[in-house]
Chain A
Amino acid sequence: MSQKQKTTIEKVNKGLARRYRAEKRFKFMGLSAIVLSLTFLGILFASITYNGYTAFEQSWVQLHVFFDPELFDAKNLLRADYDGLVKKSLRETFPDVKGRSQKRKLYGLVSSGAAYQLQDMVVADSGIIGTSQKVWVPASDDIDMLMKGHIDRTTPESDRLVKDVQLGWIDQLIKEDRLQMRFNRSFFTAGDSREPELAGIRGATTGSFYMLLITLLLSFPIGVAAAVYLEEFAKKNRWTDLIEVNINNLAAVPSIVFGLLGLAVFLNFFGLPRSSPLVGGLVMTLMTLPTIIIASRIALQSVPPSIREAALGVGASKMQTVIHHVLPLAFPGMLTGTIIGMARALGESAPLLMIGMVAFIVDIPGGVTDPATALPVQIYLWADSPERAFMERTSAAIMVLLAFLILMNGTAVLLRNRFERRW
């Protein structure tokens, strides 16, 4: 063997240890990148669940209310002093509370929504006037936070939102079993509110629903039609190139720019109602169209040409070929793309800020032209509120939003796995 080759292999062997170390390092870096991403995903989900799961429960206080007939005017049941009823009941529960500031602390135990609840009871059944009733009303947000452990009893009183006297009353109520945790139904049935304990996501989800309805009704047919034209009919020329560049670019245009478009065109030019799911849906349509068109084109491309040739071969027109044979085969793919586009629209909030779907709206929208907000925007609004209780609600709303998104994307994945054909 020549001397040269001996030294070659020796040189190779000499560097081996170093090279394998580098190899290991590199592989480790790759693995840690993945672990890092997944860790973050875990932290995100864990922190949101940890912060939010308690919002599905709510503290309730039992009041003994005497509906004093003297307070009610039979003609106008709405006008009675329900607030006074609540306060009176609290005073009777803790008769030794004296002084203004003490009383204010006492009234702070229950939510301001308690008065409205009594009002609703009386309006629903005026027969209860003159009787004594045991009524469960929501506790105020601070008490709720204390019950859920988000306010620490051991912090010094001056730094604590719930004062020592209140703690005493709370303990007494708990002992009498008049302060309970219950499933928080109103979170799903109520609209927005300034009081965290009364705020719910019904308004926002309804708004999101109407908005998505508009988006779906417009973007699916238009997207499919555009994809069919570009894929099946259009000749390759400068015009279709231009359309294609436009679609690809629009898919990457920042969503807030679509919001500016909506503001300038739909609100200011066409004068459509501000804050309405209709405008939100139109903006989202324009935003999701590129996604749907691109997905639909891929679905159409995956239908083999032999099917088209077969149909054309038996004398079908181009249009018949597409409608009878190509579209049904491409449909699952198009649907998958549409669902993914809808999921994106559901999670999107920036353009909605531009068209005014960010207002404080208590009422639950009854149609596409009513002022409304959307679930992600509701999250944004709540996240801005200083109360600790809103942080919990925000996290819970996020959990609901994520649940919807997982449901939609899961459906898309299922659809794809179920109908995906390999030709």
Chain B
Amino acid sequence: MSSSLLLVFLLVLSAIAFHLGRRKALAVGRASGSPRSLHSRPVYYGALTALWCGLPAIVLFVLWQTLESTVIVRLTLSTLPDEIRSLPDASLGLVVNDIKNLAAGNSFGGIKDPAIEAAANYYRHLQDIGSLIQSGALTVIGLVAMVLGLSRISPKLRARNQVETVVRVVLITCSTIAIFTTIGIILSVLFEAIRFFQHVPLTDFLFGLKWSPQTAIRSDQVGSSGAFGAVPVFTGTLMISALAMMVAVPIGLMSAIYLAEYAGKKVRAVGKPLIEILAGIPTVVYGFFAALVVAPFIRDLGARFGISVSSESALAAGLIMGIMIIPFIMSISDDVINAVPQAMRDGSYALGATKSETVRLVLLPAALPGIVGGILLAVSRAIGETMIVVMAAGLSANLTANPLQAVTTVTVQIVTLLVGDQEFDSPKTLAAFALGLLLFLVTLMLNVTALYIVRKYREQYE
């Protein structure tokens, strides 16, 4: 953990710089009459010196950390004999792994190639040198920058403004992380997805009726391209989401209506947080419950009536997912219903409407856009939900409309394709990224539409 130690060292250095800068500023202030003659308060001179000392060093540190391993691998590879270097990328990756493992001291069995052993030694050597150079460079840069920063301290130096500018830049950087995350998501799934579509045509993927990626495990098999028609996966996802919405929308909406319009203060104060506990339960718990309690229960119930129910039926997963989404629908509907002005209720009651008539004929139509927005967000959540379906829904991609049969979903397929041993170029692995891209795009569309609708709705009554 030498790199974290280095980081701590840099922080300590910066703290010292802060102290020195402040002292120097005080001294300069006294020398030129009163502390008031300084442009800023001494703390800011300290902070500025600390920034001078710390920032360049930390930038270097980050750059070093990200680039070090690539550079070292390159250098190591260049020492290897040509016949190894000319290997295809995939096998080369394995060699690199061997070298890294060997260098880290995990030798699996007796190793074989002296060239690789030499490379591992060289690798370790480079690592040692690298960390030495890094520590040295960082210390020197930090100290030099600190001295430079100290020498700049004078009563005229606008320390506060400069510190604030730096802080501002940091704040702006932090706020752009959201954008970089989105870009990161798009790039990381897009590239792999494009590579997938080089193997499998887009139309086959979108409209194909057969999904069996498992056949493509070995690329040297004849005609082993597998079947990557994602329609059964989509229909499975849709069916489970639809089942979930069939549970969540009526229960969530009716709960919200009852809490907002009928319940007394006390019931509301107790009932709402209780139901919201459902939202805080981890999905893996729901998955466990669906797989071990609900699915067997439904199967036994079906058996009693002579109906054959798959033990990984879509129904169990859908039901439980619906329950997970209830509090989500409830919270949003509650907000939205409460946002309808009291004047609407008064107008309706004054005409002699009962509560339920007011709710059904006035409040719900008025709140409809907001509720629809909430439901869209809930659908997006249902489509993207992973653990419940991974644990309770099946792997077999059946094209069926029967909720008692097993279906599979986009997220289940992503998990199964990517968990465990993977080889990076097979269409099987890449298919997961294609599904991921699709999942991201669909949820993006749902989210943006929903957020737009909800915002418009809020503005209408503000």
Contacts and interface: CB of A to CB of B under 8 A. Distances in A.
Interface in A299-318: 317-318
A27 interface: yes
Q: Is the interface of A mostly helix, strand, loop or mixed?
A: helix
A25 B359 CA distance: 13
A255 interface: yes
A337 B377 CA distance: 21
Interface in A305-355: 317-319, 343, 346-350, 353-354
A376 B83 CA distance: 46
Nearest to B160: A317
Interface in A20-47: 20, 22-23, 25-27, 29-34, 36-38, 40-41, 44, 47
A28 B234 CA distance: 37
The size bracket of the interface on B is 35 or more
A249 B182 contact: yes
B393 interface: no
B135 interface: no
Q: Is the interface of B mostly helix, strand, loop or mixed?
A: helix
A146 interface: no
Contacts of A261: 181, 184-185, 188-189
A37 B251 contact: yes
Interface in B411-438: 411, 414-415, 418-419, 424, 432-433, 436
Nearest to B354: A23
Contact of A229 (B172, B292, B323): B172
A233 interface: yes
Nearest to A369: B1
A349 B355 CA distance: 43
Interface string A377-412: 101100110000001001100100110010001000
Interface stretch (A72-80, A129-137, A184-192, A220-228): A220-228
Contact of A246 (B69, B178, B386, B436): B178
Contacts of A265: 184, 188
Interface residues of A, number: 88
Contacts of A246: 178-179, 181-182
B126 interface: no
Nearest to B274: A38
B369 to A, nearest CB: 17
B25 to A, nearest CB: 17
A225 B354 contact: no
Interface stretch (B16-24, B222-230, B278-286): B278-286
B414 A256 contact: yes
A81 to B, nearest CB: 26
Contacts of B419: 353-354, 358
B216 interface: no
B282 A347 contact: yes
Nearest to B286: A44
B447 A253 contact: yes
Contacts, number: 259
A264 B189 contact: yes
Contacts of A222: 174, 177
A253 B271 contact: no
Interface string B368-403: 000000000100110111110011000000000000
B57 to A, nearest CB: 19
A252 B381 contact: yes
A27 B355 contact: yes
A150 to B, nearest CB: 13
Interface string A232-272: 01100000001101111110111111101101110010110
A38 B385 CA distance: 22
A379 B356 contact: no
A253 B289 contact: no
A22 to B, nearest CB: 6
B89 to A, nearest CB: 13
A257 B1 contact: no
Contacts of A38: 271, 274-275
11 contacts: A36-B251, A37-B330, A226-B171, A226-B177, A226-B178, A245-B448, A253-B384, A257-B443, A353-B390, A354-B419, A376-B284
Closest 6 CB pairs of A and B: A254-B384, A30-B258, A347-B282, A264-B188, A26-B356, A33-B254
Given A261-B189, A268-B424, 5 more contacts: A31-B258, A226-B174, A246-B182, A254-B383, A286-B181
